[in-house]
């Protein structure tokens, strides 16, 4: 695994200091370029966007990346290492970009959405956005209590959360979004929740909600 995350950095188009920092995590088998293609449709020229590549190679494509293994025989292998690397990298962005975590929104699609919910609850971020994501069934539990309490940050306000999911998603079933919403709300998070008549994908109406959420929380 690489020691630091490689990423695509898109500064504000206004030649002014960024109003906020938006980090978007790709899904299993995709890469930073895949989600960077969404940027023109988000229409937030005053913000800085960063699209990191996951640290692990994808087993079925030379250009795909993975946050951890999803093959049955190695399910979740690499998650703890990827989690810590992502946390350290996010903390370093404040120095390199000049934007504090309090004005940084972490978002992601599918496996990237799962990493967003996993890592995001531990940091003083401005907000979290999960698109077709899920909670890690083991990693999101507090093993010392043997219950489903989220490992949340205790010294900062809880960031608001936006969850969007397709009703016809056959890759990550809708029930994953329902469980994520219920678990987060029971842990004190404010959750904005939307379902769409679609599969495992990102639609323009989702990006409009993402845009509104960013503007409202940075």
How high is the pLDDT of residue 74? 86
% pLDDT > 70, the chain: 90
Residue with tokens 């020691």: 3
- Cβ distance 102 to 126 under 8 Å? yes
The rounded distance, in Å, linking the Cα atoms of 57 and 130 is 22
pLDDT-derived band at 218, boundaries 50, 70, 90: very high
Supply the DSSP symbol for 214: H
Residues paired with residue 166 on neighbouring β-strands, in sequence order: 196
Residue 2 CA, distance from chain mean position: 20
How high is the pLDDT of residue 137? 79
pLDDT-derived band at 4, boundaries 50, 70, 90: confident
Q: What is the pTM of this model?
A: 0.91
| Tens-place pLDDT, residues 101-144 | 999 999 999 999 999 999 999 999 999 999 999 999 754 444 33
Residues paired with residue 104 on neighbouring β-strands, in sequence order: 21
The rounded distance, in Å, linking the Cα atoms of 135 and 84 is 17
* Cα dist from 42 to 54, 136, 159, 202, whole Å: 22, 28, 21, 12
| Tens-place pLDDT, residues 157-191 | 899 999 999 999 999 999 999 999 999 999 999 99
Pairing of strands 65-66, 56-57: antiparallel
How big is the chain, counted in residues?
Answer: 218
How high is the pLDDT of residue 141? 42
């Amino acid at each position: 695994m690489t020691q630091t995350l490689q990423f695509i950095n898109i500064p504000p188009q206004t030649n002014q200091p960024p109003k906020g920092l938006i980090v978007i995590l790709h899904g299993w088998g995709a890469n930073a370029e895949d989600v960077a293609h969404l940027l023109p449709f988000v229409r937030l020229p005053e913000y800085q966007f960063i699209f990191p590549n996951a640290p692990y190679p994808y087993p079925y494509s030379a250009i795909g990346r993975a946050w951890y293994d999803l093959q049955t025989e190695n399910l979740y292998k690499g998650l703890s290492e990827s989690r810590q690397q992502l946390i350290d990298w996010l903390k370093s962005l404040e120095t390199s970009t000049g934007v504090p975590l309090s004005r940084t929104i972490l978002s992601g699609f599918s496996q990237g959405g799962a990493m967003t919910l996993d890592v995001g609850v531990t940091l003083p971020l401005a907000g979290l956005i999960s698109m077709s994501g899920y909670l890690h069934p083991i990693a999101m539990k507090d093993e010392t209590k043997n219950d489903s309490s989220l490992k949340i940050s205790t010294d900062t306000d809880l960031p608001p959360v936006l969850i969007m999911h397709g009703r016809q998603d056959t890759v990550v079933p809708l029930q994953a979004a329902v469980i994520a919403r219920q678990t987060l709300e029971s842990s004190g998070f404010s959750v904005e929740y939307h379902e769409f008549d679609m599969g495992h994908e990102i639609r323009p109406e989702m990006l409009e909600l993402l845009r509104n959420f960013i503007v409202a929380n940075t």
